[in-house]
Structure 1
Amino acid sequence: MSAAMDRALMALSLEEEDKPFDMPDLPGFCSNEKNKLSLVGRMLNPECQKMSTLIWRMPGKWSKEGKCRGVALSQERFQFFFDHEHDLLDVLEKGVHTFNEWALAIERWVEEPPDDYLQFISLWVRISNIPINYYTKEAIMALGDLVGEVKEFIFDPTKPQTQPYQRVLVKFNVANSLKMSRVINIKGAKPVTIHYNYEKIQKRCFTCFRLNHEQSRCPLVVKRRKDEAFARRQAISKELELKKVVLHEDDPLYGILTEDQVGTGAVTGKPKIVKEVLDEMRQYLMLATDEDRIIREERVRSSVAAVEQDPMLQRTVLRLEAPPVISQDFNKGKGVVYSYEELQKPKEGKLQSEKFMASAIRAGSAGQWNAGNMDRTLSDEVYVGYNFMATTEGSTVFSTGSLEPCASAGTKKKVYQRRRPPKSRRKPRPLLLADKTEGVMWDKAADKSVVGSKKRKAETEVGELLVSAKSKTPKVIPREGSPNA
């Protein structure tokens, strides 16, 4: 199999040409009968007009939905098939058609299209500013021929005319530009400018006034940009050629130093050697005698070459600039910088063993506790600071007084709160005579004695006070000690 394929490939020739295919001349192969009721069109600006959108939207724009269908023939050309002849003629009579605000060239299908097929569109043109002595058929037709071939014009001198223009229908070549005005010479009078306005034309190039491109892609605009860029390059090259020469032939430094050494720096934009230094070099060479002139020239050449090796010397010696300031403050220019080193230094009047965390906790808890509680030990301060920080921030936030790891779920740690007994227990009501009377009870809500069978809380007499059964047994409040104490 491979040997047979190799022989077939070797037998191939690049010079061999395929013979043209002869299309059968049969009724089934030709669609002339279907094309008789069709229109063929061309998009004038394909960059701004999408073919698929045109095929779907043009029937609705013509009010012919369901009566015609479109077919894309190429990237620019399309065809619409109609069901009836009157629908096709109705579309043609509407004049120039646009899609996406750009014009379309549409004509009826022909079996053998001419060379200028889809090259012309029918436009109604309004001609204004016509001289008063030239409102004639011949003059209007001649003015219309300046735009295109006149096919029809409206003119009736017997009827009143309310618009200051004349309308003509012309066959316009889409390759030409739309003339917005023309200057007309009249014998024995001043030249007159005739203005043209084109109906149903929306977008055009406002540089060359053509219908097939936008202004940004106009050949005239592109050419002008290229010419301007070329002119800028030429100007820059001339400036480089006419660059100012520092060392002339009559200069004592000519031949000793080069233009690269005395020219302008590309980074700084300043002379590499300032004028004052060059003048001193010139004076140094001019004062030399014939015997030591060669020695001085070599000394200037070698000294400049040595200084050029050191950037610091170039700045201070050749350019006479101040050297940069060397600072040892690493935080200079940063603003306020927080440092632990200064805070950890011991101050006068404080113990060296006192830790920074303990002092921070003491300062944070000072606003929450009175002065009587400030004599606690360091362990109590840590515990209080831990409770204080846990109540003010979330459990996932690290704080200085935290002694236990925080919960990953983000729940707050339950903090103990002091529970104070109600007022009725802290200040018992005095025992009245009515309370000792049988069948008489005290209504707390109404704050008065009530006679009846209302249920009564069990109360006992403690001296001259009434104490309920619940409060009879004294309780110890946590962290407060015994009440008797």
Structure 2
Amino acid sequence: MDNNLAKVLQGMSLEDDKSIIIPEDDDYCAIKRGSQSILGRLLNPECQNMGRMLRTMPKIWKVYNRARGMALTRERFQFVFDLETDLQMVLDQGFWTFDDWGLAMERWVENPPPNYLQTAAIWIRLHYLPANYLTLKTIDTVADGVGHVKVIEFDPDKPLLNDYVRVLVVLDLNQPLRDKKSLTLPGGRVEYVEVRYERVRKKCFHCMRLSHEKPRCPVFQGERNKGKGLMGHKSQLQAQVTRQHHTDLAEKIMPLLAPSFPPGFEPHSSVIVPEVFEQMRLYMNCSDPDERSIREAKMKKTLNELSQDPVAQRSCLRLEAAPKIVTVPSPVKGRVFDFSKVQEKQSTDVAESSSRSSANQSSRPERDRAITPSRRILFGETDITADKDMRNASDRHPQQNITVPTANNLVGVREGTQVEAGVFVIGSGDNIGDRSNKSRNSYRSRSTWSRKNQNNRNKSASRHESDIHEREDGNGKRKADEDGEVSSKMSRKHSGLMVHQKPSNPQ
């Protein structure tokens, strides 16, 4: 039996398993639902709760029942919206976070590109730009080193009221989010520009990435453990190419277009995208040597011109649109968070608390010897050891009224009671010790009004009505020529006599 089962298991393969066929029917397809949805992924799934995020984000967006979330995988999710305006509102707000970590979200597409959910549009602030180079081209060049520039809020003809320039960039979420960028100015002088990211909360403060915390950083663990495998992962992370303006495009690209160069080697996408490089290779593929030399000269000239123009370099080689210049700054700005100082503050607080505790322990005998009269403390003994010192102090300063602590005038201790060890009592003597519960209650302000009983109010109202009926009956029995009683209100409003008509007797 076992031998037959083993032979059957050995003969099984994936080809024997038949694939499940999905019919081409609208009931099986969710493309219509996905046209009004947003796909996203958690950047740090270990620190973010998927279920709680799906319940909380519609409340934060204030769409409530008009959006519903679905968990696709451990880190991927989908939000389906009933209204197109709600979907656009969420995308226009920019970068979103949950549990202090980011969410990568994009609109649903039927055939997603390779970098789908790998980028995010984030507003950045550039601080400490050199005054002599505060121009649109300098701002565009600096911001391009961070990400793909979409919008620049700057007008050189208007005053700059803030100490920064806001730029909307599309960041690669797999790249580090560095806080500073170095600028090499003409003449060799180096300046540093500070970069701050709006609506971005936590990140790894070692490798500056958004996908993990510092204790789980592979670079940080590799430096601590000195392991070979972790060190190899560290070199792989550091070898990634950052975005920058290339001034030597001809030297980088022309060798790759040579006919003797083997295929399969392409420049990085930060230099040129694959589809553009493929078109350049087809253009240079020529069997005639004279024609090829002419094409090489034209290609080299074009690359040298692109090396001098950053905007043309991005639009022609990377297929990125030119940035939009906004002269009126937006009134809505995202907050800038800095969690790196929190950890430093916690470490300093621990150091201060330890130093204070050691100082308190070293100065405790001195406090035992010098106990003030307003603070009487028993340090593990039934009697107070500072009686003699306090009496000597009263002898040296007779003009000052110093109370000598004894077992009888301790606060909260009555005569004839035994004081236990390890108890401390705080007070100022007779003024506090002689207070009773009655004196404490006397300080409470009494209410200025009191609610009457509802039954008594009903009784008084019924009596008032009966008095009014009796008074009216008495007035009706009077003669018409006699002066009747006039009510106080009517007498104030009308001067003169008031005639009351005698009611007719029933027949």
| Same-fold call, TM cutoff 0.5 | no
- Normalised by the size of structure 2, how large is the TM-score? 0.43
Higher-RCO chain (CA-CA 8 Å, sequence separation at least 6): 2
**Bigger Rg, structure 1 or 2:** 1
- Normalised by the size of structure 1, how large is the TM-score? 0.45
Q: Which has the higher helix share?
A: 2
